[in-house]
Amino acid sequence: MKQLYFLLFLITLIPLGGKSQEIIKLTEKEGISFRGIATYKNHAVWVSGNKGTVGKSLDGGTTWSWVSPVGYEEFDFRDIEVFNDKEALLLSAGSPAIILRTANGGQSWTEVYRDESPAIFFDGMDFKGKEGFVLGDPIDGLFQQLQTRDKGKTWKDVSNFMFFFADEGEAAFAASGSSVLYLNNNVWLGTGGSTASIFRRNEKTLYMEKFHCPILQGQPSQGIFSIDFINDKTGIAVGGDYMDDQNKSNVVLLTYDGGENWIAPTTSTGGFRSAVKYITADLLIATGTSGTDISSDGGKNWNTISTASYNSIALSKSGRHAFLTGSNGDIAKIIFKK
C-alpha cells in the first residue's frame, strides 16, 4: 500500500556561496538501516536496506511505496541501481551474495546472480548506461568483480581478468555502495583496512593502475569509504574510521591527476564520511554517521550543515536535490536553492 508522508521537519537552512540548503526529513522506516539509494531523472527515488527492505517514490520523495522482494526478508541490500521507473537492481552483502532484478517497478523480483561461497562479500556496484560492475572483497588476493552489459540481466565474473590485486588485510566497504565508480572509460575502486588504495582501470585500453591514498588507514574500520570524480583527473575520496566517526584527521582527500597524488583540503569535513558526490565542479556534498557537509569551492573547504546520521547520497538529474539515507530508517532530501 502506498503511504503518504508529510515532510516531517526542516532540520536546517544554511546560506552558502549565495545559495542555501534545506535538509528535509521525508520519512522513517523504524528498525531499518538504509544504505542503498538511487534516483531516476528528477522524480524517482529508490532505497534499499536490511531485512530485505526496498522502497520507492515516484514524486520526489513525497509519497512512498514498499516493494520488498518476497522470500528475501533476511538479506541486507547494500546497493541499488535504477534504470527507469520500472527497472532496478538490488545487491546484497554477505554470503550468499545475490543480485535481484525487477522489470515491473518492484511488483516482482528475479534472482539473476547468486554466489554461495563463504568468503563472498559484495560492496557496491556502478553503471554507465547498460554496462556495469560489481565490486566484492578479495578472495585469494583478488578483489571480486562482476560485469554486465545488459542492465544486469546477465553477469560474468571477471575477477581473473581485471586483476585488482589486494594487499594483505586490504578490503572495501559496503557502507554506501560508492567505493566503486564507473565514469567515462575508467572503473575506479577505493579500498581500506591495512592500507588504502585507488584502483583505476581503463576499459578502452584495458590498462590498470593502483595508487596509494594517504587517507586514515591501518585498521579494519579505516580507509576509503566513498569516491567520486568530476572528470578523469579531478576526484575526491572520503572515509576515516567508522568506529571513531568524529575524528576529522585525514578523512577527506582531493586529487587532480587521476588518483596518483592526493592533497588534504584546507578545512575538513566534520568527521568520518561514508558517501560523497560532486553536484558541480565547485559544489560537493558528503555525509556520514556524524553529519553532512557542503563544499562550494571544489572540496577545499567544508561546512557542516547537520550532525544527523546518514549513510548514502543520490542526486536528482538536475542536481537541485540530493537524497540521503540512514541507519535509523531515515530518508531525507536537500534542496539546493539558487
Residue-wise pLDDT for 226-240, tens only, equals 999 999 999 999 999
The DSSP string of 51-94 is: TT-EEEESSTTSEEEE-PPTT-TT--EEEEEESSSS-EEEEE-S
Tell me what the mean pLDDT of segment 207-223 comes to. Answer: 97
Cβ partners under 8 Å of residue 195, min gap 6: 167, 169, 170, 212, 217, 218, 223
Proportion of the chain above pLDDT 70, given as a percent: 94
- Shortest CA distance to 267 belongs to which of 296, 241, 243, 287? 296
Residue-wise pLDDT for 293-310, tens only, equals 999 999 999 999 999 999
The domain total for the chain is 1
pTM above 0.85, yes or no: yes
pLDDT: is 78 or 16 the higher one? 78
Chain CA centroid to CA 295, Å? 18
**286 neighbors 302 (Cβ within 8 angstroms):** yes
- What confidence score (pLDDT) does residue 286 get? 98
Residue-wise pLDDT for 311-327, tens only, equals 999 999 999 999 999 99
For residue 332, the tally of other CB atoms under 10 A from its CB is 25
Proportion of the chain above pLDDT 90, given as a percent: 92
Indicate which CATH number applies to the domain containing 194.
Answer: 2.130.10.10
3-class DSSP state of 162: helix
- What confidence score (pLDDT) does residue 338 get? 54
Residue 243 has pLDDT above 90, yes or no: yes
3-class DSSP state of 159: helix
- What confidence score (pLDDT) does residue 20 get? 54
- Shortest CA distance to 293 belongs to which of 251, 231, 234, 337? 251
Of 18-22, 120-124, 215-219, least confident by mean pLDDT is 18-22
pLDDT: is 292 or 17 the higher one? 292
Residue 8 has pLDDT above 50, yes or no: no
- Chain-wide mean pLDDT for the chain? 93
What is the extent of the structural domain holding 279? 3-337
Residue 18 has pLDDT above 70, yes or no: no
Confidence label for 289 from pLDDT (cuts 50, 70 and 90): very high
